[in-house]
Amino acid sequence: MPRLTDQVIAAARMSGATVIVPGNVYVFGKDATECLGPDAPHDARNPLGRIRVDMEAAYRNSGVKVILLRAGDFLDTAASGNWFDMQMAPTLRKGVLTYPGNPGVPHAWAYLPDMARAAVMLAAKRAQLPRFTDVAFPGYTVTGNEMAALCGKVLNRPVEVRRMAWWPLRLAAPFWKTGAKLLEMRYLWDKPHHLSRDGFDALLPGFVATDMTEALASAIAPVLSEGPGRPRQGRAAQGQATAA
């Protein structure tokens, strides 16, 4: 991440380009307040959080024009390797939403087509923006129970919530780096949080988000159409971005 960040900054300095950075909530840490936005301190102490803290600081101090659009977990229109399509949605075939944390805790989500649309709208206004613009993408904030109810509405049948078992990841973590990183960020599934919308609404007052039921329908369809055992054909690059 530091090497790639330095390369992007160098390219932007040479070309005068504006950099659009997809940010996440890792920078805030376990003890952050529920409302996460530009004014929340970057107090993360865990390794993945510190990587993001350092990356954002590098962009902030670089002198290049940067738009950082921060969001929660992704809902995508393709099976791209995110939490929803890899872990939560496949069991919807059996009327079950497999949830990684406390299903009564609010969690932040972003529908990627909406986030991309917002990034384009912000880019169109870049001449009027500060050199470094930190914007929280509000997206959706729902509990696991609320998400299950919405999935049931999409599928037109009841959907129950079952908590995901974390013990396989704990067993695999010493041998599988990704498993260790997933465990590192587990706290986000039990920590109530949402993205502040004040700055976003001020910059893009006319933005209309996709209804979450429609977004979930788009996210569920490619997962359930694959069938058990079929390889995923999602976006490899998006999977990498999610992991980062």
Per residue in 111-168, pLDDT (tens digit) is 999 999 999 999 999 999 999 999 999 999 999 999 999 999 999 999 999 999 999 9
Query: What tens digit of pLDDT does each residue of 2-48 get?
Result: 999 999 999 999 999 999 999 999 999 999 999 999 999 999 999 99
Instruction: Reduce the DSSP state of residue 195 to 3 states and report it.
Output: strand
Instruction: Reduce the DSSP state of residue 221 to 3 states and report it.
Output: helix
C-alpha angle with apex 86: 81 to 89, nearest 5 degrees? 130
For residue 231, is pLDDT > 60?
no
CA pair distance 191, 183, nearest whole angstrom: 14
* Predicted pLDDT at 65: 98
Query: What tens digit of pLDDT does each residue of 196-223 get?
Result: 999 999 999 999 999 999 999 999 999 9
pLDDT bracket for residue 232 (50, 70, 90): very low
Phi, psi of 213 (to 5 degrees): -60, -40
Phi, psi of 133 (to 5 degrees): -115, 120
CA pair distance 36, 193, nearest whole angstrom: 7
User: Strands 140-142 and 132-136, how do they pair?
Assistant: unpaired
List the beta bridge partners of residue 68. 21, 134
For residue 85, is pLDDT > 90?
yes
Give DSSP secondary structure letters for 174-206. TT-HHHHHHHHTGGGGTS--EE--HHHHHH-TT
* Predicted pLDDT at 11: 98
Phi, psi of 83 (to 5 degrees): -60, -45
CB 220 within 8 A of CB 89: yes
* Predicted pLDDT at 227: 56
CA pair distance 72, 218, nearest whole angstrom: 18
Mean pLDDT of the chain: 92
Query: What tens digit of pLDDT does each residue of 37-71 get?
Result: 999 999 999 999 999 999 999 999 999 999 999 99
What is the value of pTM for the model shown?
A: 0.89
Residues 6+ apart with CB under 8 A from 223: 79, 85, 89, 90, 92
CB 200 within 8 A of CB 138: yes
For residue 241, is pLDDT > 90?
no
Q: Where are the alpha helices (DSSP H) in 69-197?
A: 83, 112-124, 144-155, 167-172, 177-184
Say what percent of the chain tops pLDDT 70.
93
Query: What crossing angle do the helices spanning 2-15 and 47-60 adopt, rounded to 10°?
Result: 10
Instruction: Reduce the DSSP state of residue 223 to 3 states and report it.
Output: helix
For residue 243, is pLDDT > 90?
no
CB 77 within 8 A of CB 66: no
CB 101 within 8 A of CB 107: yes
For residue 102, is pLDDT > 90?
yes
Say what percent of the chain tops pLDDT 90.
89
* Predicted pLDDT at 235: 44
As a whole number, mean pLDDT of residues 179-194 equals: 95
Query: What crossing angle do the helices spanning 212-226 and 144-155 adopt, rounded to 10°?
Result: 70
CA pair distance 117, 114, nearest whole angstrom: 5
